[in-house]
Structure formats: C-alpha cells, structure tokens
Structure 1
Amino acid sequence: MSAETQDYKDTLNLPRTEFPMRAGLPQREPDWLARWERIGVYDRLRDKAKTTARQPFTLHDGPPYANGHLHIGHALNKILKDMVVRSQQMMGRDARYIPGWDCHGLPIEWKIEEQYRAKGLDKDDVPVVDFRQECRKFAEGWVEIQREEFKRLGITGTWDKPYLTMDFHAEAVIAAEFQKFLMTGTLYQGSKPVMWSPVEKTALAEAEIEYHEHKSHTIWVPFRIRKTAGEGAQEASDLRNARVVIWTTTPWTIPSNKAIAYNPKLTYGLYHVDGTQDESWTSIGDLYLFADALAEECLAKARVTAFTRIRTVAAAEFDGMICDHPFNGMDGANGFWDYDVPMIDGDHVTDEAGTGFVHTAPSHGADDFDCFVKRNWLDRMTHNVGEESEFLPHVPFFAGLKVLDHKGKEGKANTAVIEKLVEAKAIIARGQLKHSYPHSWRSKAPVIFRNTPQWFAAIDKPVGDGQDTYGTTIRQRALTSIDQLVTWTPQTGRNRLYSMIEARPDWVLSRQRAWGVPLTCFTKVGALPTDPDFLLRNIDVNERILAAFEAEGADAWYKDGAKERFLSGIVNPAEWNKVDDILDVWFDSGSTHAFVLRDRADGSEDGLADLYLEGTDQHRGWFHSSMLQACGTRGRAPYRGVLTHGFTLDEKGNKMSKSLGNTVAPEQVVKQYGADILRLWVAQSDYTADLRIGPEILKGTADGYRRLRNTMRFLLGSLADFRESDRVEPADMPELERWVLHRLAELDSRVRTGYAAYDFQGVFQAVFNFATVDLSAFYFDIRKDALYCDGDTPRRRAARTVLDILFHRLTTWLAPVLVFTMEEVWLERFPGEDSSVHLQDIPATPADWLDAELAAKWARVRSARRVVTAALEVQRTAKVIGASLEAAPMVHVADADLLELLGSVVFEDVCITSAVGLSSAPAPDDAFSLPDVPGVAVVFHAADGDKCERCWKILPDVGRNAHPGVCGRCDAALT
C-alpha cells in the first residue's frame, strides 16, 4: 500500500456474524435437544393450537419393537414421520405425534427363555405371571434406550407420555377389541393348516413370514390305481396296472397323504416304459400317468431311456378313480395307511412343474385343505405332526422323528420317509431343489404347514354390528375403505394392499405363547367348536375382565383362580374352560387406533389418523392388520392416508447385513456428522424406492449441507443490524429485488404443495437449487457490491429487506428437515430463552409478488449474462484478468427487443464488471458466443480507469473525488 493509499476496509458494510462455517453438529446438537425440552416446544405448540383455530393433523406411529438398538431403517422411518409432523405444523395445522412401542410377543419371550436356559432353568417350571413380569421388565429397558436414540435424531413428540401396548389401559382395550370379535360372531375356533414355527412352537401369520432360499428334497412317487373310474369299461382296462405319479418337495407330508389332485383343463397321457438305465427305479413295461407337458422331463429324472405314449387319458377317467397310499399293506404299519386315496379335481394343479398331479395332504397345505373343505371332508384330516415338527407316537415307522430340529435345521423325517418309500418300491426318482421357502422373520428358521386348532377371525362372515356403510364383512369393508377412504403415497401401495386383502384367508389370531394379551374367552366343557354355545358371550363377564385388566394388566388372566374370579356369580365356572392362548401381536398393534387415537386427549377428534407411515413390508404387516382389526370393530379403515417407504441398502444396492459388514448404524452417522446430515440424506432421497446409504453418499450429503450453510451465513452476516425502519415496500424496490420476491412466491407454492404431498425430496431440491443457484450464484453475487459498498441507499435498504424476507422463509421451509441447523440460524438472529424457529409458521407470501412478465424479462437477462460470464472465464483462464471487475466487455445483441431490455437494467452490475457496452452492430467473427444463446456475442475489453480502493471497480472517475482513490459512489458513501 502506497503512502497515499488509505485503508477503507473499516468503512465497508462487511457481513458480521458469529455463525461458524464449521457446524460441529455432533457436539452441539445435544444442547439444542436439551433446550427444546427445557422450554417445552412441543407442549407450547399444543397450547398454541388451543387458542387458535388450527385444523388437527394426526400421524399415528406404527410401533417399533422394543428389543434392540435402532438400525438405519428405524432412523429413516422416524425422520420421515418427523418431517411430516413438523411441516404440517409449520403450515398451520395442529400436528400431533405420539410415539409408541410394540412390547408383547415372541422375540422378547425368546430372549427371556434364553436367559433362563443360560441359568439352567426351564420356562415351564416358572409361574407364568413371573415369566411375564420378566418380559415386561425387558421391554421397559429397551423402550428407554430406543426413546433416547430416537430423540437424538431430533424427533419431536410426546416422549414423556408415549403409548406402550403393554400399558394396563392398552391391554384392556386390546382385550375389549377382541371381545367385539367374540360378541359379533366373527371369532371361531378352527382346525386347519397354518404356518407353524417348530423353533418358536407357535403359529405364525403371513406378516411374520419372510422368504429365503432353501434346499428341499424332491421325490417322484407313483400311486397304484386300485379302482378305475370306468370299472368294467374297455377303455379303463389299461389303467388298472398303471400308477399315478406325484412330485413333492416335502417328503415328510407323504404319511399324511389323503388324495391326489388333477386339473381337468390339462392334457394327460398314459406312458409305457420301453428302456431304462441300470440304476433306474422303474422297469420295462411299467405304466405311468403324467401331464403331457411334463412327462418327458419326469421320465428322464427316473432314468427312463425310452418310452411310448400309449394314449390320451381324459379327465373324466379320473372322476371316481381310487389309488392306494404308497405305504398301504406294509408290514409293521398295522393297516395305518390302508385307506382310499381318491383322485380329486383342483384348479391349483398346473403343468408348469412336477407331474401334473398334486399329492394332497389337507393337514399340511392351504390348497389341499381348501379342496377338502369344498367336499366337506374335514373328518379325513390327519393330526400326525406335533408342535416340535415331530411325528406323533401313533404314526408307524416315523414316530418321534422331526422335520426340523430345535434350531431349524433339517431333522430325520424327510430321509426316513424317502428310505421307506424306496423299501416299498414307491419312488421312481429323487433329487434336491433350491427354491424360495417361508421362514420366520424372527428366528430366521424354516416353517412348516401344520394342522392345529387355532382361533380365527372370519373375514367373509357378516359382522352384524350395524356398521355396514362400507360393507357387511371385514373383507368388504377393507376393500371399500382402500378405494373410497384412503389416500395412498405412492399410489402403488393401494394395489399391493388391495390384492393381499382380496386373496387372503381368515385371520389367525392365536399364538401358543405366554407374553401377550390373552384371548379373553371361555369355551363350553364338552362342546364342539361347531356348537352354537361353544363360546361364552356374556357382557357382564367381559366387563369384569376389562376392569381387572385396567387395574392389573393382562397378568390378571393368568393369576391363580382367574377363571372363578371372572365367572363366579355370573355363570358356573365348572362348565367353562379358560383359553390361555395369546393374541397375535399384530392384533395388538392393529388395535392401537383405539387406545391412542380414540382414547387419548391428544389423539384424534374422530379416532382416525390422517396418516400411517411405514415401510413397504407393512402392507402385509401393520397397515394390513390395522385395516382388518378396525373393519371388524368400527366398520372402516382407521386411517385416511398411508405413506410407504422403501428399504435401506448399501451404496452398491445390496441388502444390509452384519455378516457382510455393510450396515450403517444411525449412532455412528450421528457421531461422525450429526443428526442433521442423516435427516438431509432422508430429504434428498426418493423414499418411494429403496434408499442407498454409505460413506461416499454421506460425504456428498455433507458437502451439500455446507453449501446451504454458506447461504444462511451470508444472510445472517448481511442482516446483522437490520431494523424495521430499514424496510422497503415491494413497489419501491428495484427490479432485481422484485424478481427475487417473484421467485419466493413461486417457491412458496412449491414448498406448500410438496409438503402437503409428503414430497420432501422435491421440496428440498427446489429450495436447495434456489438457495445455491438463484441466490448464492446470482442474486447474492450481484448484490454483494451494493450491500458492502453502498451507503444508506434505497438500493441497499431494498436488498436487505429482501434478505430479511428470505431469512424467514428459508429457515421455516428448511426447519422440518434441518431441525438443528435452522434453530441455530434462528437463534443467531433472534436469541432469547423462549425463541425457537420451531414455534414459527411458514410466513404467508403475498400472491401479488408473482410477476410473470418480470420473470420472463429476467430470464432473458440471465441468459445474456451467461454469455458474458463465460467469455470472462476464458480471459481469466488465460490469465488476462484476475477478476471480472477488470473487464468492460462489449456485448453485441442482434435482437432489438433484447438490446432494449438489457439497456433497461444496470447490466454491468448484473455481470459484475466495471462497465458493459451494448451494441446492435454485427458481432466480429472472433466474438465469444454460446450455442444455446443465439444472437448474443461478447468482445472482451479491459476496463478503463483506475481501481477504486474501496469497491475495487475500475472506473474513470477514481481519484477525482473528495476522498482519495475512490469512485464517486464510494465517495458519496463516505461523506
């Protein structure tokens, strides 16, 4: 600096803020959490709603299970819910959120059993009430842990008063909801095949099943024909020595075979074996029946080298045909299998795999069972397999052998059955098949289909409760609700749930476990399930049970003398048996609408939720069970809206697995980056599909966050001493400021529409692009000169007014996503013990800020500016200039209207140059241009004059003013 040069830095209006560029979120976020709790932000919003006419909005929380630390899927789900609640609140609703937990069920019970086994204790030797208390204590511990983990993510809600399915009132309501099924006649006890977990020793619902690859035995078994359909007829004579071949992947079900199914729509043939390999279990001259489409493949499996198709076998020839069981007449079987095996028709039989004939064991298959129900053959059901998947003592040859052991590994039953079939010469081929097979989603072990008495809710029986607006049966009500009452986000959720409910069987309500709400019902001693008085339906008994549950919880059902306590004085206890099965936990969570939305003061005015929000797996889980339960008790869906999100995957799109080491724990992300970065990842992702997350993705999210933080820091610095007296009305603002207001009005509509549709990705992208492109790279870039160097000019006051308007909108628009950062931004400007951005609403934006004509004009200005800035970048790269203020380019404009338009604005300020020339003359051949901006070309010229020591513009009047070394504008600012 020369002796004559003065330092004008202190005369500039440079940004002043203590808002740090380094966020330090992991260290600072807990302080904001503590502050929100201290000042009671959530409660103050509820109080605010009581004094203002705010429309309620209730997001009902699908309860996570209280048995472990949170995974990234939990974080995704809860953050989405929080963004819904906060955005609805800031748009003027009374948005309520009551977090809850699912506390009953097998996983917790399993953990306690493991603890018992480790101590050498047998669960069955422990009083059931003591065991249940251990389960309750375990759940309470995990509720506390998960509550703090959720709160750390910035989730708002009634954390001090969550709902728990194991609360006494909740257990009483669940029992009351079950009693409605009892009293309306939709509850029944049936014996049918259900998915059974031998590991967990209980029935499972479809919602508790997941499918994994499994290796199964495959066998081809020929059944001897004892009686042909046309006995005595010539055409049937060649079938008397033939055998019907079935194929199965469950050899252990062969001892329970009761029929063989065929499909009259398929084409069948009689095949003669002409040649075999030495190892074949067939012989030349054997006759077999197959579906024609599968015959060649099956015979090849049986090592048949040559065969002849004798003739077509018409479907009518199977009608009345009787076969022998493969073990019929075997020594040592004592006639156990010496019964008729009829041929029956079934639409479920195909020629896509197998033989075209289906081995039918009605105790172990849904289609098999349906075939027997259709024929009223339920007296032919078998009960050959016990709860540990073991053959029961009455089954010859196989008694005690298990299909699966206690860990879910293959037992000895399959191989024993196959060996016995070989001995009986009743197998022609065997192999193994890898295929998708149902597993318990808790134990991860395979399940079996097993006939066992269970309690069901009939979904096609008229409910008879008078709530028939949407249908008379549970299924009708559910399907009508799906189409007429519920808004689906995305719409594909509707199709998935509709198809599931349309095709589903009756709901299995019972579980053979201890930790849960019992089926509070009694059965008549000596009565059959089909008897009209089999179930006790007594209002006084029901009320006595519910009163006990309210006072003591569901443990009251299991205390000594419970039956006498509930029945004495009303009916004779000796005439009734108490049911000790517990309810499916999906019935628990499906009932939450009753004890949360209906019963809580902060629930919902009409007992319905505005939104249920969970992952896509809940179409078969909570969305599904809640729909069935509510349609059975209140006649319609419990929700008006359903939002579903995808699953979390690693960066390569692989499913996360601890064994693969590709999991991302929310706790680790929070420790490294802070919860706001995790929340930003959610907001930037398309939650309607599966979401990828990993180190590189999080790094990119953090980079975007820093850019946004820069924008907010600029706003804070430029508004440091802004006062209301500085405010300028829009009508008095320059065009550039009014253009910003136009963009704000456009964006306000986009934000509100997006938040209303739960389109967080769309909202964030729009706001982020506006902040980084329209503001930081354009408006701020242009107006920095006026903000820093102008005196108290109308232009500077207008710019700061716009910055204030921007501040209030950006902070509230982004607060639902970046809950911590926007609070930090807000408090930097508006400190105070009671201050919080989360107590604000999104400000109303005047519609008259919209100015389409002005927007169109500035779109053309920005296009021309791009040509200038690109031309200057060429000069900067060539080191001709260091900064754009060293330039005074000549801009050649072919279009007269555009030339006039550019002349109406201060184009040198827009281009951040010291001067700009505008010319209608044709551009020189070497002028710079951009292909997508025709008619605009730039010729570079260096700026003429000296550099202003205050604003750094190069202008001819520098040095000719009262203050040395400055331009006229800066001289006026210094005066």
Structure 2
Amino acid sequence: MSETTAPAPDYRDTVFLPETDFPMRAGLPLREPEWLERWERIGIYDRLREKTGRTPFTLHDGPPYANGHLHIGHALNKTIKDMIVRSHQMMGHDARYVPGWDCHGLPIEWKIEEQYRAKGLDKDEVDIVAFRQECRRFAEGWVDIQREEFKRLGITGNWADPYLTMDFHAEAVIADEFMKFLMNGTLYQGSKPVMWSPVEKTALAEAEVEYHDHTSHTIWVRFAHRVAEGAASIVIWTTTPWTIPQNRAVAYNPAIAYGLYRTDEAEGKPSELLILADALAEGVLTQAKVTGTRLRDVPTTEFEGVTLAHPYRGIEGGEGEWDFDVPMLPGDHVTDEAGTGFVHTAPSHGDDDYQLGLKFGLPMTYNVEPDGSYRADLPLFGGQHIITADGKDGPANVANIKALAGAGALLAKGKVKHSYPHSWRSKAPLIFRNTPQWFAGIDRPLDDGLGAHGDTIRSRALASIERLVTFTPVSGQNRLRSMMETRPDWVLSRQRAWGVPLTCFVKKGAKPDDAGFLLRDAEVNARIVAAFEAEGADVWYRDGFKEEVLGDRAAEYEQIFDVLDVWFDSGSTHAFVLRDRADGTEDGIADVYMEGTDQHRGWFHSSMLQGCGTIGRAPYRNVVTHGFTLDEKGMKMSKSLGNTVVPEAVVKEYGADILRLWVAQADYTADQRIGKEILKGTADSYRRLRNTLRFLLGALKDFSEAERVDAAEMPELERWVLHRIAELDAEVRAGYAAFDFQGVFQKLFTFCTTDLSAVYFDIRKDALYCDAPDALRRRASRTVLDLVFHRLVTWLAPILVFTTEDVWLSRFPGEESSVHLRDMPETPAGWADAALAGKWQAIRSARRVVTAALEVQRSAKVIGASLEAAPVVHVADARLLAALQSVDMAEICITSGLSLTGAPAPAEAFTLADVPGVAVVFQEAEGEKCARCWQILPDVGTHSHPQTCARCDAALG
C-alpha cells in the first residue's frame, strides 16, 4: 500500500473530549423527590441558620387558607417567595422563611357546613366548641397536604415549625392585639350598613368581596309633591326595589339643574307633572314611554324644607307603617350622570345614605334579618327573602314593584346588567344591611405613645406608604394609597363560629356612646391572654369563663361572641411571627411582604391597619406584588372552561424546575400566561441551559488547582470572559436585590447561549480538546470555566433548585455537599475591563461577518466545515484592523487560516449591512488536514507524528 493511500492514524484517544456522567435528559419528575429527601436528611435550612455574622433578611409569608389543593397561583406565589429568600441567602444574608397558614374563618367553616348539609344536619344545633374542633381538624389535615405540595415545588423554609393562626399562642396574641384596639380607644360598636352575605349570615370586608355581572330590577318611582302648577312627582331611580320600605329621605344636589315637565297623554296614560334633572329628563320619559314638555326651571331652593309622601303612605294592608313624611335633603353624592337627579335614601342600606342620615338625623331601620328576609311582622312583605339561602333572588324585589304599581307610585320599570358585589366564598350576591357591628375607627386619635408617624391609623398608614415602604412595582404605592385615603372604618366583627372571638365585655343596659360601655381593664385582658395560651380560643365559649376572668363583676357585663374578621388574624401575624419567634426579627418589621396584587385590599391592607394601630407603622419595609395567572389566550382560568393548569400535573410531566423556570421567565408584576405551548417553550429554554451546564462539567473533568492561571497571565479572550463575569455579578446581585427575576434570568440565559455557547465555547473547543494539558491557553480556559461554573451555578440556584444541585453534586459529590449551602462567590473588581470589552465587541462584530460569509459557502456545498476555509478579510477602519491584527482571528473565526488587509474590498466580497467596513472574500485553506485537530495547514505531515500539525505533534510528545 502506498503512503498516499495509507489510513489516517487514529488519534481519538489523545483528544481531551468532555467527559461527564451528567445526563442530557433531566428526568426531573423522577429525580427531584430524591433531592428533596436528601435536603431534609442533611437539614439544609437549619444548617444555613447556623451561619453566623450575617445580616438578617426576613420575608414574612402571607398565609394561604388551609382548605384545598394548591392552584397555579399558589405555585407562582410561593416560587417567587422562594427565589427572594434563596437569592438573599446566597448573597450573604441570613434569609429566614417561616411558612404559615390562615386557619380560621369562613373558607373552612363553610366546608364543615357543607358536610353538615350533606348529612341533613343543622350546624346551629351542634355545640359550638365541638363545631370549632371539627374546623380545627379540617384545617390541620389541609395544612399537612399543602405543606407537602409546597415542598414538592422546591420551596425552602422552616417546614418543621410553621406558624398557624389557630395555634394557641397565635390565638392568644391575636386576642391581645385586638385588646390593644380596645384599650387605645379605636374600638367602638356602631350600627351602620355593611356588606352582608345572606347565605353566610355574616358581614364581609371589602377583601372578601368580588364583583360579577348581575341583572337587577330597576324602577322609577314617584314621590308625591306639590308645586304652583298643581300635584307633581319627584322621581327617583333605584336598582334595589327591596329598599323602598326603608326609604327615609330623597336627596338632591344644589349644583344640578332641574326642570318641571308635563307629560303628554298617551295610551290611557294621563298627563302628569314630573320634576327631573334636565340632563336626564329625556331618558326618563323614554323609559316611561311618554313624551313631554319642559315648563320651567325648578330652582333647588324650592326643595329646601320640603317633605314628600312615602310611596307606601296609606297603602292597603300597610297598617300605618309608612304613614310619615319623607324630607328632601341636599347631598353632594347626587349626580346627573344616571338616574333622575334624585336619590332614594335608605340610611340602613348604603354608605352614602347612612352618611346623609347621620348628618340630618334620619332614623335607622331594622327590617332585614340575617338570612336576607324581611322581619316577619313587616306589613305586606314580612318573611320575604331578598336573597335566598341558595344565593338566588328572592321575591322581595318583585313584591315591591307590584306594591308600587298598585299604589300608583311606579312610573317605569326595567332591568339592568351591572357589576355587583358577591361573596368570594359562596359566590352569592350581597346586600348592604344595617347591623350592630364592631369597628376600628381609623380616624380616631390614638394616645399610645407611638405617634412618630401620626396620631390616627389612617395618618400612620399614609405616612408608611409615603416614607417607610418601597413598592415593587411602584404602581402598588398609588393603589394602596388611594385605598387608604378613602377607606371607611374597619368592620372587625363576624357573626360566625370559627375564629378568634372579640374578647371584650359590654356593660349591661348601657348604650355604645355611654361612658363605661366597654370594659377596659388590663388585668382582665392579661387573664384572657393567659387562658388562651393554655387552652386556645375555645376557652372563651366554656361555661363559667366570664366569671373566671371578671370575678364579682361578671353579672354587670355581657360577653361578646362575634369572631374577628380573619383579616385581623392575618394582619396580626407580624406580632406572633416576627416579634415572638426566635427566627423573627429584632424590631418586629419584615423586610418583605410579597403577595398577589389583590392583596392591596387584603393582607397588605389589613396588616398595615393592624400594625399602625399597635406598633405605629406598617410592619414591612417592602411590598412586592405579582399579577394573576391566565391561560395561553389570556383568559381567566376556570374549571368550567377546562383551561386550568394544575401545579401537580406540570410537576408530574415536566418537573418542578420547569415550573420554577416559567416563573422566572415571566414578568410577574403583570398577569402571566401558562399552558402547554408556553411550557414547551420553557422546557426548550431549560434544555439549552442544561446543555451549557453539561458542557462545563465535561470540560472541567479532573480540573485541579495546579492548573489555575492568574488573570494577568490569561489570553485576551479569557480576560473578556472575566469582564463579562464581573458585569454579570453586579447585574445579577442588583436584579435579585430588586426582586427582578425575569431580568436576572434573561441576562444569564443570554450569557449562556450567546457569550458562552455561541462564542467562547465555540472558539475554545479546539484548545480544550487538542492543546497539551500544560499549555497556557488550555489551562487559562479551564480556569475560566471553573470560575464561570461556580458563579453560574450559584446565580441560577435560586431559580433551578434541583438542576443546580444535580450539577453541583456531579462535580462535588458528598453527603454534606450542596450548592444551597454556598454563597455567590465574590468577584474581583479588577476583572472589569471596559476598554477590553469594547475591543472585543468590535472583534465579535467582525467575526459575525466572517461566519456569515462561511455559512453561504457551506449552504452552497463548497465547504463542509469552517476549518476548510482561509478567508481574506478587508477592514476599512484602521483602528479595527489593528484590533483584529492583535488577536488570532483564524482561531476566533474557527478557520484554518485568515488574512487581514486594509486594502479596498472587491465588489464581490461578502458584507453585512449592520457591520460597515468589513468585507470577506472566501478562500479555501491550503495544506493537508491534521488527523488530530482537523485544521488544514501547510505543515501537516512534516512532523514526527504522521498527519499532524505542529501543535498536535508537540501535544503528542
């Protein structure tokens, strides 16, 4: 056989190809539970707490309700929290996270009542303590289930010792915090209209209300009046006909223009005189199906001191119930944007009505029972429901419409579809109902020695919003401020069974405004707290408890059995979590509260009110909010639509790290979308990241400290990577500190895919594979890869908690080893080199022209690989030419040769429009192909090792 036909030597075993057992296929659903078990076995969270001398950082967990499996919103919420905690821990803090659960209130009580109803039982006939114990057991069961579901998502925290609002100590503290309101004068009993759920038979707070479209009856009603022209009618409009029996006034606005209108006779309808707001008159007449003529202006001075007849005055069967005068009263809340320009006023069933009633001394009515029915002895309508027990419209509206028609007071009727308040638990419509309730007065002066930020709850809250709290996104500040500026007093009482009772006593026979109405006694309060600590809040319901705490005074007082709004429970958590626990904070203030944007009217809101009432300020320094999770089309998720995404299903198919990566890729400050296609895209991003990490592991096999090269000795390409590390270190830390996980991920993903995979790895594969082990270039590259590894894995660890652990253990195995016990390495300031970075930005631009030119030749089948080329590169700019001449552009462009020239480029040269002044003329490389590195060079075959180049011959020894 001649030399020309001899087979090429096989040098494969001499090439340093990457080696790693780290698989390309992650197998996350099966493998993640192994890491969870491992973390629990070695006690990761507790070991982190043992690190001393670190600045504490506390994210206080807003408690979810313990009443069902996790939904995608839970997964988003807890994952963001976990990223906050882990990133701050790895940046050098002692980052604590105590998970918690909200265990009292209607969500759980409602579930037990559903069970009772299914068995045909009546909850009201069961011993209240026995009922409360069932609620407790229900909550305990769901706490255990949700805890495991949260842990499966990779959430770190003190899972062994979470906080529960139903723990005895928590119940004692909640009661104690309530009694601070009792003692500082903000607590009072008032009878005013509140949002009331007839289905759940309790008052609701704004945070417990959601708004849905609802079709309501709408009516136009005549109130008899006299003018110079004769008998006339003031016309009101309302969407709540059931409130007409409670009418006590008609309001007008002195700033509105009113007119007297005479209607034309039509279809048996006699002519009549109506007084209407001019801006609304045409619409009213149209609704009444009549035409009319405006006779004159009606100055509002004509309304002063005027009384009207209630539309039910003298009605048959009315038994005189409505035989009274109805005053006309001025009110700024009246507009001429809708209706008639006059507002029917029922002080017991609306806040504007109530405020007008307070101003003018209107009587309150108590016609509506807790179940949404009229009191039994109300003439004509007694016992009729407004809302039925199953949340449907009762007969009350229609009955009133018929009564008005029979009395000749109904001008017109119709229906309107509008946004209407519903209970977010039962989904049933609500009503405004006047009931005696307990309130915290947010504008009542506080004499508690905590006045650094104001002397009322409202002033302290507004000061906190302006000066003490940072909001992410910043729009949250305006949202919370606008709510605090206009919110009414806080309704604290609920007429339910499962919760912390309002631990107060009232003087028998006394009225709410009487001195001594409320018992304020610090010793009594202390006895209550001690009893709750020992036995829990159930002790309040024990026979004889009042006598135990009041002694000889027991007969003088009545015990209150309403329970606290659960938002007071969760608003108080700062006291028994941040203040009382060993893993709390020194000042009782959290670094971060993080919840969904709906919590501006929920937990952020109630925590601020509660904190301002008891510690003088908001109990947090940062408020971070996320949006809602929608399907891929931007639709709200609904079981009925079949578009829900269940975290458990995502974890089973993809693994929790894919779900976490979806969170990191999303702009959580807005609404996010999720679905099959989006998750497929997320999984693709994950694979690209995993490929980068796998290459690092393979290329670093057997790396030792003996190989390490100082930065000053490294080639420029390595020093450029060090500069990028320095840049990224600052950006990643700033991003994590600002809770910008999307920004962090985007920067890291770009670094991995563009800077590393597409540039640095691409260029350095040749040196890594083919240079001798002691070659400076290879050692420098492996040193840089090691530095990249330690930073990249720790930078990504707060996001990809399972994958980064897998990567870390692939390189540093051991029972005690874990990436989550590491901090992000400090990066020397000297690595930053802006001048070098600018130079390499220009080099990379020129490289892009060369690689694009070669791709044209590859597509045309002229060459199969870039090493077959030795192009000529024409560079018009002398400074760029010098920069390119200072480096090995053939190495950088992965060609076997490359010539640089400042000569003008021929017309056929390849160019890119966005890189002016660089043109490439293709030429094939001359020489033979090295059997080891595959470069085509003139010296191949002239060395001792057959068919090798000089570099490979030397490497082979």
Shorter-chain TM range is: over 0.9
Contact 1:211 1:437 in 2 (8 A): yes
In structure 1, how many angstroms separate the alpha carbons of the residues matched to 2:376 and 2:633? Answer: 52
In structure 2, the partner of 1:395 is: 378
Corresponding residue to 1:816 among 798, 808, 812: 798
Partner of 2:139: 139
Corresponding residue SS for 2:57: strand
Q: Is structure 2 residue 731 aligned with structure 1 residue 750?
A: yes
CA distance in 1 between partners of 2:153 and 2:28 (Å): 12
* Alpha-carbon offset, residue 117 of structure 1: 2.0
- Name 2:354's counterpart in structure 1: 369
C-alpha deviation, 1:119, in angstroms: 2.1
- 2:244 paired residue among 251, 254, 259: 254
The SS at the match of 1:190 is strand
How far did residue 125 of structure 1 move?
1.4
**TM-superposed deviation, 1:332:** 1.3
Q: What does 1:44-63 correspond to in 2, within 5 Å?
A: 44-48=47-51, 51=52, 53-63=53-63
Matched residue type, 1:774: D
> What is the SS of the residue equivalent to 1:188?
strand
1:300 aligns with 2:263: no
After superposition, give the CA deviation of every residue in 1:82-121 in whole Å (9 maximum; x if it has no partner).
0000000011111000000000001211111121222222
- Whether 1:237 and 2:228 are equivalent positions in the alignment is yes
C-alpha distance in structure 2 between counterparts of 1:464 and 1:288, whole Å: 54
Q: What is the aligned counterpart of 1:265 among 238, 255, 266?
A: 255
Letter in 1 for 2:499: G
- Please give the alpha-carbon distance, in whole angstroms, between the structure 1 residues aligned to 2:299 and 2:92: 71
> Equivalents in 1 of 2:27, 2:620: separation in Å?
40
Secondary structure class of the residue paired with 2:410 = coil
Aligned-partner Cα distance in 2 for 1:2–1:385 = 105
* Equivalent residue in structure 2 for 1:953, among 935, 939, 942: 935
Distance (Å, rounded) in 2 between the aligned partners of 1:673 and 1:656:
21
Instruction: Please name the residue that 2:24 is paired with.
Output: 21
- Displacement of 1:4 in angstroms is 3.7
- Computed over aligned residues only, the root mean square deviation of the Cα atoms, in angstroms, reads 0.9
Corresponding position of 2:403? 420
Give a deviation string over 1:240-297, Cα, whole Å, max 9, x none. Answer: 511000000000000100000111111000000124345xxx522x000110000001
- CA-CA distance at 1:2 after TM superposition: 6.1
**Would you say 1:359 and 2:344 are equivalent positions?**
yes
Asked if structure 2 preserves the Cα contact closer than 8 Å seen for 1:191 and 1:451, the reply is yes
| Cα distance in 1, alignment partners of residues 869 and 515 from structure 2 | 97
1:885-938 deviations in whole A, cap 9, x for unaligned?
A: 111111111112211211110000100000001112111111100011111111
Tell me if the contact between 1:263 and 1:345 (Cα under 8 Å) persists in the aligned partners: yes
Is the aligned partner of 1:892 residue 2:899? no
Query: Mapping of 1:162-311 within 5 angstroms?
Result: 162-225=162-225, 236-238=227-229, 240-278=230-268, 282-284=269-271, 286-304=272-290, 306-311=291-296
**Counterparts of 2:413 and 2:501, CA distance in 1:** 45
- 2:299 counterpart of 1:318: no
**1:460–1:475 Cα contact (<8 Å) kept:** yes
Structure-1 residue corresponding to 2:821: 839
Q: Which amino acid letter does the alignment assign opposite residue 299 of structure 1?
A: L
Q: Which amino acid in the other structure matches residue 841 of structure 1?
A: D
Return the match for 1:789 from 770, 773, 790: 770
Structure 1 position 394, deviation (Å)? 2.5
Alignment partner, residue 434 of structure 1 = 417
2:473 aligned residue = 490
Aligned equivalent of 2:34: 31
Matched, 1:515 2:490: no
Task: State the distance in 1 between where 2:574 and 2:674 align.
Answer: 33
Shift of 1:420: 0.5
SS of the residue 1:961 aligns to: coil
AA of the residue aligned to 2:745? F
Equivalent pairs: percent with the same residue? 71
Match of 2:129 in 1: 129
Task: Quote the Cα distance in structure 1 between the aligned partners of 2:121 and 2:338.
Answer: 48
- SS across alignment from 2:378: coil
Partner Cα separation in structure 2 for residue 4 and residue 637 of structure 1: 80
Cα deviations by residue, 1:794-837 (Å, 9 ceiling, x for unpaired): 00000000000000000010000000000100000000111000
The counterpart of 1:854, out of the listed 836, 856, 862, is 836
Q: Distance in 1 between matches of 2:211 and 2:115?
A: 29
Match of 1:706 in 2: 687
| Matching residue's letter, 1:40 | G
* Structure 1 residue aligned with 2:719: 738
Q: Secondary structure at the match of 2:262?
A: strand
**Does structure 2 conserve the Cα–Cα contact (< 8 Å) formed by 1:277 and 1:303?**
no
Deviation at 1:566, TM superposition (A): 1.8
CA distance in 2, matches of 1:834, 1:120: 56
> Of residues 654, 673, 677 in structure 2, which corresponds to 1:696?
677
Give how far 1:3 is off: 4.3
Letter in structure 2 aligned against 1:398: F
1:346 to 315, 331, 334: 331
Aligned pairs for 1:620-699 within 5 A = 620-699=601-680
The match for 1:503 is 486
Distance 2:267 2:181 in 1: 61
Give the 3-state SS of the residue equivalent to 1:428 in structure 2.
Answer: strand
- Find the residue that maps to 1:354 and give its secondary structure: coil
Any stretches of 5+ residues in structure 1 without a counterpart? 227-235
Counterpart of 2:86? 86
Q: Distance in 2 between matches of 1:627 and 1:935?
A: 62
The answer on whether the counterparts of 1:509 and 1:587 sit within 8 Å (CA) in structure 2 is yes
CA distance in 2, matches of 1:4, 1:473: 92
For residues 457-472 of structure 1, what are the structure 2 equivalents within 5 Å? 457-472=440-455
Structure 2 CA distance for aligned equivalents of residues 96 and 297 of structure 1: 62
TM (norm. structure 1) is 0.97
Q: TM-score, normalised by structure 2?
A: 0.99
3-state SS in 2 of match to 1:580:
coil
Q: Which residue of 1 aligns with 2:312?
A: 327
Secondary structure of residue in 2 paired with 1:743:
helix
CA distance in 2, matches of 1:75, 1:536: 45
Q: Distance in 2 between matches of 1:319 and 1:74?
A: 57
Tell me by how many angstroms 1:613 deviates: 0.1
Matched letter for residue 514 of structure 1: A
Q: 1:6 offset after TM fit, Å?
A: 1.3
Distance 1:882 1:406 in 2: 78
Q: Using the alignment, how far apart are the partners of 1:342 and 1:723 within structure 2? A: 93
Query: Which one of 785, 788, 795 corresponds to residue 803 of structure 1?
Result: 785
CA distance in 1, matches of 2:37, 2:611: 38
Matching residue of 1:590: 571
Runs of 4+ residues deviating >6 angstroms: none
Q: Structure 1 counterpart of 2:399, which letter?
A: A
For 1:779, the equivalent position in structure 2 comes to: 760
> Greater CA deviation, 120-129 or 950-959?
120-129
Opposite residue 769 of structure 1, the aligned amino acid is: T
Post-superposition Cα deviations, 1:390-412, rounded to whole Å, max 9, x if no partner, equal 01023110000000111111000
For 1:875, which of 853, 857, 860 is the aligned residue?
Answer: 857
Q: 1:565 aligns with which of 541, 548, 560?
A: 548
Q: Which residue of 1 aligns with 2:533?
A: 550
- The structural deviation recorded for 1:375 is 2.1
Deviations 1:557-599 (A, max 9, x none): 011222112211xx42111110000000000000000000000
Alpha-carbon separation, structure 2, partners of 1:942 and 1:4: 24
Letter in 2 for 1:621: G
- Partner of 1:766 in structure 2? 747
Give, as a single letter, the amino acid of the residue that structure 2 aligns with 1:58. Answer: T
For 1:376 and 1:737, the matched residues in 2 are separated by 83
Task: State the AA in 2 paired with 1:237.
Answer: A
